[in-house]
Amino acid sequence: MHSDAGLIAPILTQMFEQAPTFMALLRGPEHRFDLANPSYLKLIGERQVVGRTVAEAMPDAVAQGVVGILDDVYRSGVPYTANGARFLIQAEPGGPSEERFLDFVYQPLRDADGKVNAIFVEGADVTERTLSERARRDSEALYKGLFDAIDEGFCIIEFLDGPHGPDSDYVHIQANAAYERHAGIPDVVGQKLREMVPAEADAWVARYGAVLRTGEPIRFQQELVATGRYLELAAVRIEPASRKQVAVIFQDITARRKAEIALAELNATLEQQVEQRSAELMAAEEALRQSQKMEAVGQLTGGIAHDFNNILAGIGGSLEMAQTRIVQGRIGDTERFLTGAKSAVRRAANLTERLLAFSRRQTLDPKPFNVNGLVNGMLDLITRSVGPTIAIEAVGAAGLWTVHADASQLENALLNLCINSRDAMPDGGKLTIETSNRWMDERAARARDLKPGQYVSLCVSDTGTGMTPEVIERAFDPFFTTKPIGQGTGLGLSMVYGFAGQSGGAARIYSEPGKGTMICIYLPRHIGDVVDEAEALTDSDAPQPAVGGKTVLVVDDEPLVRMLVVEQLEELGYLVVEADDGPSALKIIETNQPIDLLITDVGLPRGMNGRQVADAARKRRPGLEVLFITGYAENAVLNHGHLEPGMHIMTKPFEMEVFARRVRELLAGTKA
């Protein structure tokens, strides 16, 4: 029987050379490099180290105590392990240092007599993971700081089944420091409603239960009998509904409410209480002064309140517009509104997290373009996004037809698909991006829910885990995800599906478990040339006649709110011009573009608030109607509430139907 040693040695050598972790073998008490695999050499800048000691080859490591640790391991025979150790590595001696974080072990090796004669080094570069964890901790600390700094009380409640039936009770899972100050209830986190205020529980469950079931936010005032306080509250469902969570923000208006009640009672019984009038008036005035002091304190956190109310405006408006689209049967139009509402809820919960950096909340802006050029322009971004363990191949069809679509939205869709493929290949693999021209006959088109004709396909395939038929069935559903909680919104594929449908095409999944996945976007062929970008801009900038002769200028720095307002106005048949700050709005006002109504937020960036924009606009266009929309009462900016004739105000959040009625009323008074 022959030995297998001759067969094993080449395999071990191959494993050493191709291992993704870095490895080296240090001989003797001087720690002389006997072996170093390619991963180790790549880590230290491809230095020639074999045959040299650590002190000779890596003086930068010596300065960081590496030789001292190796001496201890060699002398004691005890392994040394480090996790996330920080090292400054020089690609060239004396050159700039690069910060890296490493997991590694120094394992002593012994000879036949049991004496240490070498040290085996093995480890992995965990810099990306360490920096990501550090960023996450910083983000969480920032969120907690902002969460606790909000002057209004804020909490998140989670419904649960109680003795009164399903969703008949809820528990407080988060609360900020201001909760106790406004509600008068300490240590609320972990407490169940029916244990805290059993006599009032049914009323609170009914209110917030309706928000959970319908998804419609509410704003109301309520007395908390247990503490004798009056609260002004707003509540919104945290998506998805399966989380059974509702976010609540509130403030104590007891002083103001008691003053109102006192004044009402005084007016009702004035003739019978003449003798007590002076004393009661003094008490009422003191209560009003206290209320005014509280309002002044509230102004200090106006910026935070402004942002939160903008979020509520985005949530309410998005859901209302989506509901309108569903009633109209325009299902493909609902995705961006659902995505906007989801993004706003996440901002309310985290306050620091970006959502989709590439998902613009605006109507589609289709133009003719070549998909091959778009793919080639994104390859660097895709490569950085999926990481070095995934090989990328782009196969562009020769003579590819032109499509007419929103290029930025197609970029978003492509990036979404590539990131999904990356997540399906945790151990690495191959990702292929392929374009082709497709003729769809009656049968092929029917299988993809398309009309027969010519299409351009953009397909992303991977060698990952694949999908089961059950997952494929639901993959395009909004909020459906197979990823762990916190690692996926479940909106990526549904956004791709909605964009493709809205562009006159379709998206389809082809996958088998263990064999990978291919997702294809089909877009109709456009007969014509690619439009020059400068030419397209010139055409879009030309003044256009408004439907019904009415034009509205909308100024708001919150993209989601601005999108909703513009969408509603366009639904009403008006021509809408947009700006995201005061200087941009003034440039439009100085042109010959007709404007019948100015709608502006009060708090604006870049040196001009909404009132200054309105005043400047009315100097240039006397008699221009102005509607302020604001997230909080900026009395100082609005001249303490004294508005000039033709100036009006609405407070966010508002219902889009109410907003539409208000705009109709204002424009009904202007000349066509």
pLDDT in tens, 175-196: 888 887 877 788 888 899 898 8
Count CA atoms closer than 13 A to 412's CA, side-chain side: 24
Please give the Cα distance from 413 to 349 (Å, whole number). Answer: 26
What is the structure's pLDDT at 274? 56
What is the structure's pLDDT at 479? 63
> Of 445-449, 545-549, 597-601, which range is least confident?
545-549
Does the pLDDT of residue 22 top 60, yes or no?
yes
Residue 365, domain member (yes or no): no
End-to-end CA distance of the chain, in Å? 103
Distance (Å) of CA 366 to CA 70, 321, 502: 63, 22, 11
- Residues 57 and 107 reside in one and the same domain: yes
- Residues 94 and 195 reside in one and the same domain: no
- Residues 619 and 640 reside in one and the same domain: yes
Helices 277-300 and 302-328: crossing angle in degrees, nearest 10, is 80
What is the structure's pLDDT at 138? 78
Mean pLDDT of the 381-410 span: 89
What is the structure's pLDDT at 322? 77
CB neighbours (10 Å) of residue 415?
Answer: 20
Does the pLDDT of residue 300 top 50, yes or no?
no
- Residues 401 and 509 reside in one and the same domain: yes
Residue 416 — pLDDT band, cuts 50, 70, 90?
Answer: confident
* Amino acid, single-letter form, for residue 368: P
- Residues 568 and 516 reside in one and the same domain: no
More confident residue, 75 or 487: 75
Task: Pick the last residue of a domain from 494, 526, 558.
Answer: 526
Residue 190, domain member (yes or no): yes
- Residues 386 and 502 reside in one and the same domain: yes
> Of 91-95, 102-106, 397-401, 466-470, which range is least confident?
91-95
More confident residue, 275 or 558: 558
State the chain's mean pLDDT as an integer. Answer: 80
More confident residue, 545 or 333: 333
Does the pLDDT of residue 366 top 60, yes or no?
yes
Please give the Cα distance from 454 to 501 (Å, whole number). Answer: 15
What is the structure's pLDDT at 634? 54
- Residues 98 and 240 reside in one and the same domain: no
Put the strands of the sheet holding 229-238 in their side by side order.
165-175, 153-162, 245-252, 229-238, 218-224
* pTM given for the model: 0.33
> Of 123-137, 181-195, 528-542, 582-596, which range is least confident?
528-542
Distance (Å) of CA 194 to CA 167, 172, 184, 205, 504: 12, 11, 17, 9, 52
Pairing, β 506-512 against β 429-440: unpaired
Residue 301 — pLDDT band, cuts 50, 70, 90?
Answer: very low
- Residues 463 and 586 reside in one and the same domain: no
Does the pLDDT of residue 23 top 60, yes or no?
yes
Closest among 447, 384, 393, 382 to 417, alpha carbons compared:
382
- Residues 41 and 171 reside in one and the same domain: no
Are 322 and 215 in contact by the 8 Å Cβ rule? The answer is no
> Of 222-236, 541-555, 637-651, which range is least confident?
541-555
What is the structure's pLDDT at 115? 93
For residues 108, 112, 117 and 118, what is the CA-based torsion angle, rounded to 10 degrees? -50
- Residues 406 and 517 reside in one and the same domain: yes
What is the structure's pLDDT at 631? 66
Task: Pick the last residue of a domain from 526, 558, 592.
Answer: 526
> Of 371-380, 423-432, 489-498, 620-629, which range is least confident?
489-498
Residue 324, domain member (yes or no): no
Distance (Å) of CA 169 to CA 82, 159, 205, 225, 264: 48, 6, 7, 18, 36
Query: Rounded to 5 degrees, what angle do the CA atoms 506, 512, 513 make?
Result: 135
Mean pLDDT of the 644-666 span: 87
Q: How confident is the model over 122-133, as pLDDT tens digits?
A: 998 898 888 888
What is the structure's pLDDT at 349? 46
What is the structure's pLDDT at 8? 64
Residue 510, domain member (yes or no): yes
Residue 308, domain member (yes or no): no
- Residues 166 and 79 reside in one and the same domain: no
Q: Which two tokens stand for residue 260?
A: 């109102």
Mean pLDDT of the 598-627 span: 90
What is the structure's pLDDT at 4? 58
More confident residue, 276 or 240: 240
Mean pLDDT of the 552-580 span: 92
Are 507 and 521 in contact by the 8 Å Cβ rule? The answer is yes
Query: 487-492 long-range contacts, Cβ below 8 Å, gap at least 24?
Result: 488/423, 489/342, 489/346, 489/355, 490/240, 491/338, 491/339, 491/342, 491/356, 492/416, 492/419, 492/420
Residue 297 — pLDDT band, cuts 50, 70, 90?
Answer: very low
Residue 227, domain member (yes or no): yes
What is the structure's pLDDT at 613? 92
Does the pLDDT of residue 506 top 60, yes or no?
yes
What is the structure's pLDDT at 348? 54
What is the structure's pLDDT at 485? 55
Output the domain CATH number for residue 88: 3.30.450.20
Does the pLDDT of residue 444 top 80, yes or no?
yes
What is the structure's pLDDT at 291? 57
Are 639 and 609 in contact by the 8 Å Cβ rule? The answer is no
What is the structure's pLDDT at 637? 53
Residue 541 — pLDDT band, cuts 50, 70, 90?
Answer: very low
Closest among 642, 641, 640, 593 to 617, alpha carbons compared:
593
CB neighbours (10 Å) of residue 615?
Answer: 13
Residue 348, domain member (yes or no): no
- Residues 521 and 389 reside in one and the same domain: yes
Closest among 66, 30, 35, 28 to 49, alpha carbons compared:
35
Residue 360 — pLDDT band, cuts 50, 70, 90?
Answer: very low
Mean pLDDT of the 653-662 span: 87
Residue 99, domain member (yes or no): yes
Q: Report the percent of the chain where pLDDT is more than 70.
A: 81
Please give the Cα distance from 501 to 499 (Å, whole number). Answer: 5
Task: Pick the last residue of a domain from 239, 267, 300.
Answer: 300
* Amino acid, single-letter form, for residue 127: T
Residue 38 domain boundaries? 15-125
Mean pLDDT of the 297-310 span: 48
Distance (Å) of CA 505 to CA 444, 451, 617: 13, 9, 43
Mean pLDDT of the 347-354 span: 42
Q: How confident is the model over 201-233, as pLDDT tens digits?
A: 898 899 899 999 999 999 988 887 777 788 888
What is the structure's pLDDT at 309? 65
More confident residue, 113 or 226: 113
Mean pLDDT of the 32-38 span: 92
Helices 302-328 and 559-571: crossing angle in degrees, nearest 10, is 40
> Of 149-158, 503-512, 639-648, which range is least confident?
639-648
Does the pLDDT of residue 104 top 60, yes or no?
yes
Pairing, β 229-238 against β 218-224: antiparallel
Count of domains observed in the chain: 5
Output the domain CATH number for residue 600: 3.40.50.2300
What is the structure's pLDDT at 119? 93
More confident residue, 593 or 264: 593
3-state secondary structure 301-359: CHHHHHHHHHHHHHHHHHHHHHHHHHHHCCHHHCHHHHHHHHHHHHHHHHCCCCCCCCC
Q: Report the percent of the chain where pLDDT is more than 90.
A: 29
What is the structure's pLDDT at 636? 45
Does the pLDDT of residue 365 top 60, yes or no?
no
Helices 656-668 and 559-571: crossing angle in degrees, nearest 10, is 60
